[in-house]
A and B are shown apart, each in its own frame.
Chain A
């Protein structure tokens, strides 16, 4: 029963993606109701199944794991890779919220994508994306996880380039795909090293966990770093984050899905899944945390100067992912996953709210051309307020508890710098989020614009998510705040425990709330009355507005040399390789012409050739017999 459910969770999205894809490709069926029915029914069913599994986890002890093998994939000698799935408490939590939020985004998308010519295709891709993420999460061994990992990359490529009529979108999709590929390269090398080390003992996560102590400690660090390189690509951390802002080229529901439910959380999940490995190499963990906090700060600074509503949100995602990596890097796995969990709610909400605003304003994305929408879009205003408060870390909204857990852990672990930068980032987060919020909803508009009504299917998922953003934080509230860290206890990961007394915790929590309020105040002071676009009047501002010129630097360091190298290789190819071949061709042609001349059609000459053969043979035989003459 459980095994069938587990299989169905993965197979259903793929199956419905295949069915819708076939229907879209090979039939003239374009009825949006059919596609949206199939496309939404599938994640709903998956959500139900996931919740059933999750409830069973609740009622059993922590060792309760569901295994399900679809078929044996590879069997070479004693080495076996089975196509099998595994649901433990960590993956049960992941699939529950991934499918739940995925469902809400699907419902929202059915309204957002209305009247789009590729409606069926969109839902096929969407289900495929969800299925890939579920496969990644439920994988029983790293190989299957890697398949899911790659399929997620493929789905993101397809969806980012969904409006493929514009070349810019194609470039963005290519960028996402290629940057991810760089990360995946590291990931697959890491897997290969791990496999070389202990692959002969079995390669399921259980087997690796059991035999991890056999691996040479000197080899563990490269493995951990390489696996994290994969996470850098998927989860958009420095230096492989450049695809994430460009990924906004896709439709807004795609952004919501990438940022909230699927794709970017994969890296954090992977590190948490390998918690036993990273627990043995704390220095690599510190490296991960450093990259994470650097990404968090970096993205927050860039976000402060952007004017595209979706890009601001994209950079905020990168910033929040930085927090998550700080958590998993420093051994607070459950806190990291908890932040993934709460972030999924409010980030999905933010994107869907932004999408609703964009739709209402006829595809306007520049926040400085918006304004005063509070009265026009009251529901979106309310839900966005909840989400903004949640991401800024204002209690009792969800973001406060999860972010605070991470910062407290960093502080207690003695990583004061990381904590300090985290607090600074929290300040910036509150600032840029309220900047966005105020400019869009409160500040009077400079130019009057007509808004269109937003459909019901786009509204009530917002309400559900707003409820989630407001309340899910209590699941992970720890004792200091009157909770009992239900979430962390439930997923039961090998956290490093630092004891912190309640007064310190209150102090830290109060500090981050104060900092967030300060950020909000600053935003209000600067943008409450009127807003103007940021100008690059000082060098520092210019740096931030231009995203620190990272794209340009990458272009100069990687793309341009590669292009010149390819031109060089092209020359080499045409001149040398082709030249050699052409020369040989010339030789062959000459030889063929020579032999063709021999073939002159005169029988006499043919007889002569035979005679030459006979003559030579005779000479050879004479020499063999060594007869005189």
Chain B
């Protein structure tokens, strides 16, 4: 029962944060809302017994990514005059939501028909030990590939930013 209550509260924050993110006109407000949503999402992970995922989410998504985004927003010092004023934003949001609706209904229908249910899981589920054992046994190759991806992304980020700097100068 408590679990369900927590789920609803977290869902409230999650959905509210997401909606706030896509509706706010200012970048900083948007990223604040987004951070809220991400934190709530990590809570949902905890509800699902995914302790390691919870940690990773807090560390990476919230800690690194959001911070980075905020840093960027602040560092480029986006003044209100640089952000688009988007006069038709609400109309766009409404129209696109209408378009997405059938897709959403389809997804909900599919989710409702899933023949799955939550059973009790061993204590090791979702812990660093359990996930690590799987990660380094069955998933070694994807893991290594992702590490290469990260390396490439880092290089790309540096090069793209630098080239832009050169251009600017």
Direct touch of chains A and B (CB < 8 A): yes
Interface positions, chain B 86-142, Cβ under 8 Å from A, are: 96, 99-103, 105-106, 109
The residue that B99 contacts in the complex, of A612, A621, A622, with Cβ under 8 A, is: A612
Say yes or no: B105 contacts A615, CB within 8 Å: no
Say whether A608 faces chain B, with CB atoms less than 8 Å apart. Answer: yes
Residue in B closest to A607 when the chains form the complex, CB atoms? B96
Say yes or no: B102 contacts A618, CB within 8 Å: yes
Bound CA span A608–B105, Å: 18
Interface positions, chain A 586-629, Cβ under 8 Å from B, are: 608, 611-612, 614-615, 618-619, 621-622, 625, 627, 629
Interface string of B72-85 (1 = CB under 8 A from A): 00000000000000
Say yes or no: A608 contacts B96, CB within 8 Å: yes
Residues in A whose Cβ lies below 8 Å from that of B99: 608, 611-612, 615
Bound CA span A629–B107, Å: 13
Bound CA span A619–B109, Å: 12
Nearest-Cβ distance from residue A386 to partner chain B, whole angstroms: 104
Residues in B whose Cβ lies below 8 Å from that of A615: 99-103
Say yes or no: A622 contacts B96, CB within 8 Å: no
Residues in B whose Cβ lies below 8 Å from that of A627: 109
Bound CA span A618–B100, Å: 9
The residue that B105 contacts in the complex, of A611, A612, A618, with Cβ under 8 A, is: A618
Say yes or no: A622 contacts B105, CB within 8 Å: yes
Residues in A whose Cβ lies below 8 Å from that of B105: 618, 622, 629
Nearest-Cβ distance from residue B94 to partner chain A, whole angstroms: 13
Q: How large is the interface on B (under 10, 10 to 19, 20 to 34, 35 or more residues)?
A: under 10
B-side binding surface: helix, strand, loop or mixed? helix
Nearest-Cβ distance from residue B83 to partner chain A, whole angstroms: 15
Say yes or no: B102 contacts A611, CB within 8 Å: no
Bound CA span A611–B92, Å: 13
Say yes or no: B96 contacts A611, CB within 8 Å: yes
Residues in B whose Cβ lies below 8 Å from that of A614: 103
Say yes or no: A622 contacts B100, CB within 8 Å: no
Bound CA span A24–B50, Å: 96
Say yes or no: B102 contacts A619, CB within 8 Å: yes
Residue in A closest to B108 when the chains form the complex, CB atoms? A629
Residues in B whose Cβ lies below 8 Å from that of A618: 102-103, 105-106
Bound CA span A622–B109, Å: 9
Residues in A whose Cβ lies below 8 Å from that of B100: 611, 615
Nearest-Cβ distance from residue A249 to partner chain B, whole angstroms: 79
Nearest-Cβ distance from residue A286 to partner chain B, whole angstroms: 88
Nearest-Cβ distance from residue B26 to partner chain A, whole angstroms: 19
Residues in A whose Cβ lies below 8 Å from that of B106: 618, 621-622
Residues in B whose Cβ lies below 8 Å from that of A608: 96, 99
Bound CA span A622–B106, Å: 7
Nearest-Cβ distance from residue B99 to partner chain A, whole angstroms: 5
Bound CA span A33–B110, Å: 98
Bound CA span A612–B102, Å: 10
Bound CA span A625–B96, Å: 24
Bound CA span A619–B103, Å: 7
Bound CA span A275–B60, Å: 106
Residues in B whose Cβ lies below 8 Å from that of A611: 96, 99-100
Bound CA span A608–B91, Å: 14
Nearest-Cβ distance from residue B148 to partner chain A, whole angstroms: 28
Interface string of A135-158 (1 = CB under 8 A from B): 000000000000000000000000
Residue in B closest to A629 when the chains form the complex, CB atoms? B105
Residues in B whose Cβ lies below 8 Å from that of A612: 99
Bound CA span A625–B103, Å: 14
Nearest-Cβ distance from residue A626 to partner chain B, whole angstroms: 11
Bound CA span A627–B108, Å: 11
Interface string of A238-268 (1 = CB under 8 A from B): 0000000000000000000000000000000
- Select the residue from A614, A615, A625 with max chain B CB neighbours within 10 A: A615
Q: Which residues of B contact A (CB under 8 A)?
A: 96, 99-103, 105-106, 109
| 7 residue pairs from A and B, CB less than 8 Å apart | A612-B99, A614-B103, A615-B100, A615-B102, A615-B103, A622-B109, A629-B105
Q: Which residues of A contact B (CB under 8 A)?
A: 608, 611-612, 614-615, 618-619, 621-622, 625, 627, 629
Instruction: List 9 tightest A-B contacts by C-beta distance, closest first.
Output: A618-B102, A618-B103, A618-B106, A615-B99, A619-B102, A627-B109, A615-B102, A611-B99, A614-B103
Extra contacts besides A618-B102, A619-B102 (20): CB < 8 Å: A608-B96, A611-B96, A611-B99, A611-B100, A612-B99, A614-B103, A615-B100, A615-B102, A615-B103, A618-B103, A618-B105, A618-B106, A621-B106, A622-B102, A622-B105, A622-B106, A622-B109, A625-B109, A627-B109, A629-B105
